[in-house]
């Protein structure tokens, strides 16, 4: 009798979905590339077909560095009118394809590149699937001088905003701004919530991706990759 195999680790599940995402990359096209540890697995897999694609539009300096190190051409977002597909991870995804993103502080550029794409394919391990958004602290990129008033507005909604730090100092995003992580929110209507918070003065981007939701989620589970479509 053979011993039962050990369950896959979270890292192995990320590798699985990163590789599975290759099926959405069409030869000859430019692909939109997100940010994070799951996307890093996708970038590593994409290197195997770098000669078949026209390049990538990247959502962060970190992804750009990884893409270029693997010999994948990175194009300016302004040089492409649209993308066939954008592939990115998420901190949370619900049953409608709405997501919370920004754990890697790249939410603004992620939303910009996602908005260029006809299809958003989310790659995530099963721990990211939630019944309702709001357990993961919500990242919000803000202009630093507005952080105080934005913090008070979130308090009015029952949320507690904390300035994200790196090495004891405020984290500075690729866009030169700060991140607030908001705890304790209940996001019952993601579309309305995103629209509302996005128009507060000083908010650069809120990490709810409802208007730019996923059309597909490749979810890494103990039974393999589950494909959810929305
Ligand atoms: C970065 C993001 C990431 O997609 C999100 O944080 C998930 O990251 P990981 O794949 O490392 O769990 O939004 O801003």
Provide the CATH number for the domain around residue 155.
Answer: 3.30.70.260
Mean pLDDT, the chain, rounded, equals 96
Cβ–ligand 1 contact at 218 (below 6 Å): no
- pLDDT digits over 174-215, tens only? 999 999 999 999 999 999 999 999 999 999 999 999 999 999
Q: Which residue has the CA at smallest separation from atom 4 of ligand 1? A: 89
- The CATH number for 222's domain is 3.40.50.1360
Q: Do 185 and 221 share a domain, yes or no?
A: no
Q: Active-site residue 110, yes or no? A: yes
Each residue's pLDDT tens digit, 118-135? 999 999 999 999 999 999
Give the pLDDT band (50/70/90) at residue 230. very high
How far, in Å, CA of 34 to CA of 14, rounded? Answer: 14
- Does 101 reside within a domain? yes
Q: What percent of the chain has pLDDT over 90?
A: 96
Predicted local confidence at residue 135, as pLDDT = 94
Shared domain check, 45 and 154: no
Residue 96 is assigned to a structural domain of this protein: yes
Based on the domain organization, do 16 and 94 belong to the same domain?
yes
In the prediction, which pLDDT does 219 show? 98
Asked if pLDDT for residue 4 goes beyond 70, the answer is no
pLDDT value at 155 more than 60: yes
In a domain, 94, yes or no: yes
pLDDT in the model for residue 216: 98
pTM above 0.75, yes or no: yes
Instruction: Give the pLDDT confidence score for residue 7 in this predicted structure.
Output: 80
Tell me: do 42 and 102 sit in the same domain: yes
Q: Is residue 2 situated within a structural domain?
A: no
Assigned domain for 84 exists = yes
Total structural domains within the chain = 2
Q: What is the pLDDT of residue 2?
A: 62
pLDDT of residue 1: 55
Check pocket membership of 104 for ligand 1, CB cut-off 6 A.
Answer: yes
Please check the confidence at residue 86 and state whether its pLDDT lies above 70: yes
Residues 186, 168, single domain; the answer is: yes
Residues 40 and 120 in one domain: yes
* Average pLDDT, integer, range 216-220: 98
The residues with which 220 forms a beta bridge, in sequence order, are 125, 225
Q: What is the pLDDT of residue 6?
A: 78
By the 10 Å C-beta count (0-12 exposed, 13-18 middle, 19+ buried), 78 is classed as exposed
**Same-domain status, 84 and 160:** no
Expressed as residue numbers, the domain containing 189 is: 138-206
- What does the alpha-carbon distance between residue 194 and residue 42 come to, in Å, rounded to a whole number? 28
* Contact (CB, 8 A) for 201 and 163: no
Q: Tell how far CA 94 is from the center of its chain.
A: 14
CA-124 nearest atom, ligand 1: 10
Residue 25 falls inside a structural domain? yes
Establish whether residue 125 lines the binding site of ligand 1, counting it when its CB lies within 6 angstroms of any ligand atom. Answer: no
**Is 4 within the bounds of a domain?**
no
C-beta 100 within 6 A of ligand 1: no
């Amino acid at each position: 009798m053979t011993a039962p195999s050990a369950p896959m680790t979270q890292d192995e599940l990320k590798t699985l979905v990163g590789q599975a995402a290759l099926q959405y990359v069409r030869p000859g096209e430019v692909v939109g590339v997100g940010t994070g540890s799951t996307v890093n697995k996708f970038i590593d897999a994409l290197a195997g077909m770098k000669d078949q694609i026209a390049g990538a539009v990247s959502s962060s300096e970190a992804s750009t560095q990884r893409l270029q190190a693997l010999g994948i051409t990175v194009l300016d977002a302004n040089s492409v009118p649209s993308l066939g597909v954008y592939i990115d991870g998420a901190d949370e995804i619900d049953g409608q394809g709405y997501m919370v993103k920004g754990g890697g502080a790249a939410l603004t550029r992620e939303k910009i590149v996602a908005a260029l794409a006809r299809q958003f394919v989310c790659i995530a391990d099963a721990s990211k699937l939630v019944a309702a958004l709001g357990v993961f602290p919500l990242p919000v990129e803000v202009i630093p001088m507005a952080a105080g008033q934005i913090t008070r507005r979130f308090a009015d909604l029952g949320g507690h905003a904390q300035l994200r730090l790196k090495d004891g100092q405020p984290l500075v995003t690729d866009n030169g701004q700060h991140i607030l992580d908001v705890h304790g929110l209940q996001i019952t209507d993601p579309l309305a919530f995103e629209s509302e918070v996005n128009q507060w003065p000083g908010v650069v981007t809120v990490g709810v991706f409802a208007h730019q939701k996923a059309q597909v989620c490749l979810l890494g589970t103990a039974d393999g990759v589950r494909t959810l479509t929305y």
